[in-house]
Structure 1
Amino acid sequence: MPATDLSLLIDAAREAGKIATRYSGPQAQRWEKPEGAGPVTEADLAVNAMLERDLQAARPNYGWLSEETEDSPDRLSRERVFVIDPIDGTRSFAEGSRTWAHSLAVAEHGEVTAAAIYLPQRDLLYAAAKGHGATLNGADIHVSGQVHLSEAEILAAKPNLDPRHWLSGVAPDFRRVYRPSLAYRMALVAQGRFDGMLTLRPSWEWDIAAGDLILREAGGICTDRLGQPLRFNNPHPRLNGVVAAGVEVHAGLHARLDPNGAGILA
């Protein structure tokens, strides 16, 4: 089932790319969501409408969780559920950047079993099915072999270095870099381009579900900020941050994080 679901997700991601790239980011209609939840554009809504229609038609017994669809408790009774971010990095899309992605996943009993992350303007398609490894444009990928946290390049927003997150109030001495799409950050770690990523704020499931499987199938470790495995299709679809890296770098990050640290925006 994961392999057939993956084929479905890949086809849907490519179709999403065709729809999204018909819009010119800075000229696309844009609205701000209530309560400071960020922007949404007409491209997000058009992609979401296609995905919801086509994916649910193909798998009518699967539940549905998407950033751009009003949530329903119906999904909680389903064995499998789609977890979808029609455009991850909407702000970047609206600014005319190329670093936004479509993030599509299937979770079964809380575990992601098939996933695709597609950046149409960079022609990058990351994909994974449980037990089948991870790929980029069809070629196998693997996390980096970095073993020293002090030499690692970690994808993270600057607030993640706030002393309140770290034991003794001191962040580790790693090189911090940044990319705007959370899904893309996770895919880049899976690819071995960077040694790890972390976000220490509460994180929406749709931002990270696809990246979780792709990264794990690429040989990495992906947990919440407390070191617990990520589980999806929760009643409140938000997780306690994400820490993802190769085995040694993940262990180094986890050892330095304060389990009682402040959950500030990061």
Structure 2
Amino acid sequence: MPPRPLPIAPDLLRAVRESCLEAGELAFDLFRPGEKTAARTWAKSGGSPVTEADIGVDTFLRIRLSALLPEAAWLSEETVDDAQRLSRRFVWVVDPIDGTRAYMSGSPDWAVCVALLDEGEPILGVVHAPACEATYTTLRGGGAQKNGIGIAASPATELDGARIAGPKPMLDALARFESFQPVDKIPSLALRLTRIADGSIDAGLISTDARDWDLAAADLILREANGRLSGGSGEPVVYNREIPIHGVLIASCGGLSEPLLAAMQHLRDGQPQRI
């Protein structure tokens, strides 16, 4: 028997989008463009920063999204993980503020991210960047939109001149083998992907340790805009595993996928240590 379809999917996407817009307003109240945030901040057990805005948005979205689809499990950066998600068909994957350090410092490059997984596959995604006045949305098979207008990744097919974002050590290593146009690091991984989706840049590199909540919503947006996210050797990205952590990832417009994968292979062959 085929899986039942997601109930009233367009209505659900609209409701999720509205929830993200409201969540963005909560975070924006404590955001200070170009200045340190007004939110209280502290370090989590692993040393990464968190703010009261992260926690407030997480709580708001859990209440709102759980009401929209009660049978869905929950995976979020700011909530203790619950193993029951591994046996659920639907899972909400949430990053209340992707790019917390950017948010804390007054950079606009942060976003509220929500994805819905169906058997581990993203089927709905919203990435809302209030300080950039950009809201990206998608349903699987329905194309990708930015502020309600359809978007598509760039038609680039050659690395020469391609605009590539990522951590400086990775870009510097790649530049030893390839000619391209480096782009300043985009601190939000979700925005790094969505800016490939809307054609602002052509590709992006992601170092190890990205989490599902950094990627899932933007991954679907990128796919629906004719782009691709993969592991460093071209393997598909798998979500809702027991440990939702990823290795090196490569994102690009469709035409750059193979050239960039080949370049990364060349890089690994010429520089065996981890980058």
In the alignment, structure 1 segments of 5+ residues that lack a partner are none
The corresponding residue for 2:239 is 232
Per the TM alignment, residue 132 of structure 1 is displaced from its structure 2 partner at its CA by: 0.3
Per the TM alignment, residue 170 of structure 1 is displaced from its structure 2 partner at its CA by: 3.8
Per the TM alignment, residue 263 of structure 1 is displaced from its structure 2 partner at its CA by: 4.2
Taking a change above 3 Å as real, the CA distance of residues 246 and 3 of structure 1, as seen in their structure-2 partners, is: same
Corresponding residue to 1:28 among 15, 28, 39: 39
Q: How does 1:122-133 map to 2 (within 5 A)?
A: 122-133=132-143
Specify the code of the residue in structure 1 equivalent to 2:151: I
Within the alignment, does 1:212 sit opposite 2:219 as a pair?
A: yes
Q: How does 1:168-247 map to 2 (within 5 A)?
A: 170-177=176-183, 178-247=185-254
Per the TM alignment, residue 123 of structure 1 is displaced from its structure 2 partner at its CA by: 1.6
CA RMSD of aligned residues (A): 1.7
2:153, 2:199 within 8 Å by CA — same for their partners in 1?
A: yes
Instruction: Tell me the TM-score normalised to structure 1 length.
Output: 0.92
Q: How does 1:1-266 map to 2 (within 5 A)?
A: 1=6, 2-25=9-32, 26-36=37-47, 38-161=48-171, 163=173, 170-177=176-183, 178-258=185-265, 261-264=272-275
Taking a change above 3 Å as real, the CA distance of residues 171 and 102 of structure 1, as seen in their structure-2 partners, is: farther
Fraction of identical pairs, as percent: 36
Counting matched residue pairs gives 259
Which secondary structure state, in structure 2, belongs to the residue aligned with residue 102 of structure 1?
strand
The corresponding residue for 2:3 is none
Per the TM alignment, residue 136 of structure 1 is displaced from its structure 2 partner at its CA by: 0.4
Cα deviation digits, residues 173-196 of structure 1 (max 9, x gap): 211112211111111000001011
In the alignment, structure 2 segments of 5+ residues that lack a partner are 1-5
2:92, 2:116 within 8 Å by CA — same for their partners in 1?
A: yes
2:126, 2:136 within 8 Å by CA — same for their partners in 1?
A: yes
Q: Which has the higher contact order (CA 8 A, sep 6+)?
A: 1
